[in-house]
Amino acid sequence: MMRYILLLTVCLLTFLTTDAQIIKVNPQSMSCALYERMDIDVELKGEWANPYRQEEARLDMIVTAPNGKNSVVPAFFVEGESGKTSHWAVRYTPQAAGQHTYIMRYTQPGMESVSQSYKLNVKESNGHGILHIADNWSLRYDDGTPFRGIGENLCWESRANDDSKYFKKLHEQHDRFNYPAMLPKFAENGGNFARIWMCSWNFPIDRKDHFNNIRYEVCDGYINPSAVKRMDETIELCEKLGIKIMLCIGAGEAHTNSEFFVSEKAMAAHRNRLRYIVARWGYSEAIAMWEFFNEIDNIQYRDSKHPIPAKDIVDWHAQMARYIKSIDAFKHIVTTSISHRDLEGLNSITDMDINQKHIYNQTSVIPTTIKDYTQKFGKPYIIGEFGYEWDWSKNFDDFADGMDVDFRRGLWYGLFSPTPVTPMSWWWEYFDNRNMQRFFRAPALVNKEMIESGKGRFVPCEVCADNGQAFAVKCGTKTYVYLFNDSKRAMKKVQVEACGTLRELNIEKAVWGKGRKFEGTISTYVKPYAEKVFVIE
């Protein structure tokens, strides 16, 4: 009898492993450079109704690093049919040199298949890796190199039918407002951090049709091939240009009503969407941050008479932040954003690394907002959008000077405030048309010098001006000063606790002027609504 049971068990196991099995693991190479993408194709046989639902089919790479630490890297489905040979992909970026070992594990209900062990030899390189939190002022790569973002919203490419009242024709210039054109221009002018959306008209990975964008093709599948291809190309372009992305993930095709935040079915669907995004693009050094939502408070109050309870939204964020950290082996930064209404508890979620809000019509409060939120919640704060005006029903040309002034000073406010990314302006098409991209150059120059001189350390200094706003930051042996005159009379004297040689920055040309001796007081002339930058060394 015992022999019969044993034979039955062996037969059953054979049946199970036949129905769900890893057939072949095809690594791109047996070696790669540190922080370099490594692709692995996996052939397997499994059964599912939808291979994008991890409840039905899931493939993971389990990696053991040289220090003995294990991590799990999710794979994503590429092609194939249930019950036949299918192809899956792993994109892996090693974060330590030395010999790594890994296996593949495929799971479906009641069945599991594990591959043999493979080795990957990782050689040292000049790369830096993935960005992580350093402190309130800066980020750091895996290798310890400090980073601060000079940022702008480049949230989408031109739409087929834009809703701007006054700038529709401008916004619909498809050969101009596309990522292969916008991103290189941004980088050439010193930009290194872009906020990009996933939505129905930009990288609509789970949308079948009606994109309002000429770049995507109608499809019948669960995932839109044209959208993921466009995302692949954009992320690879950012890698080449050295641009980091805050990727605003959104909800995809799901309806963000009250049920979305409490229904287990809806949350499971969103976890599957997150898993695909992390599996496909989490390898990339270009991904700086996962942003769950754009302006979650506006979603909360979409129905002003029946707002979604704040607690439901906060609990959802806590769960999803915990989940995305559990599947992201590379530990990218996690954030979300509000427009102007705080949700109680949102800023205090442990697994949310950075808090952020958007500021319009009051650019002058950016420095105090960053300082206050940073001190109150003990984590970095970012101004994810800002501008002189948010209302696209207005003609910005009626107050173009105000738009330009705020574009410039917002960047400088960020550089002299405890934030790892400068405030990011909106209306990228409008400012591109006014040739404002050149004003990234001077902040980029100062940012580079600050990091090199202070090695990632920023120390605010006491500064006193006879008028207007004055900020000073010491980085190593250099003290930088920013003056903005927000009044109707000129600024003439500024006192700073520093001594040495004083130089003034030509903001238009992004070059320093000749030096002169400095002994505590800057004698200058800053006309109303103008700005100046100095360095003392």
Please state which of the ranges 7-11, 244-248, 449-453 shows the lowest mean pLDDT: 7-11
Amino acid at 146: P
Mean pLDDT computed over 200-212: 98
307-365 tens-digit pLDDT: 999 999 999 999 999 999 999 999 999 999 999 999 999 999 999 999 999 999 999 99
Question: What whole-number distance in Å separates Cα of residue 345 and Cα of residue 292?
Answer: 16
Q: How high is the pLDDT of residue 114?
A: 98
Cβ neighbors of 208 (< 8 A, separation 6 or more) are 218, 219, 220, 221, 224
- 18, pLDDT greater than 60: no
Mean pLDDT computed over 463-486: 96
**Residue 342 · residue 368 · CB < 8 Å:** no
**Residue 125 · residue 32 · CB < 8 Å:** no
Amino acid at 381: Y
The CATH classification number of 134-454 equals: 3.20.20.80
- 63, pLDDT greater than 70: yes
Domains 17-123 and 459-536 share a fold: yes
CATH level 2 (architecture), domain 17-123: Sandwich (2.60)
**Residue 227 · residue 218 · CB < 8 Å:** no
Boundaries of every domain in the chain? 17-123, 134-454, 459-536
Q: How high is the pLDDT of residue 398?
A: 98
CATH class of 459-536: mainly beta
109-123 tens-digit pLDDT: 999 999 999 999 999
Cβ neighbors of 144 (< 8 A, separation 6 or more) are none
Residue by residue, DSSP assigns 296-333 as: HHHHHTSSTTSPPPHHHHHHHHHHHHHHHHHH-TT--E
Alpha helical stretches, state H, 63-221: 168-171, 179-188
Average pLDDT, the chain: 96
Q: How high is the pLDDT of residue 519?
A: 87
Q: How high is the pLDDT of residue 19?
A: 61
Q: Token digits for 452?
A: 């090199």
249-262 tens-digit pLDDT: 999 999 999 999 99
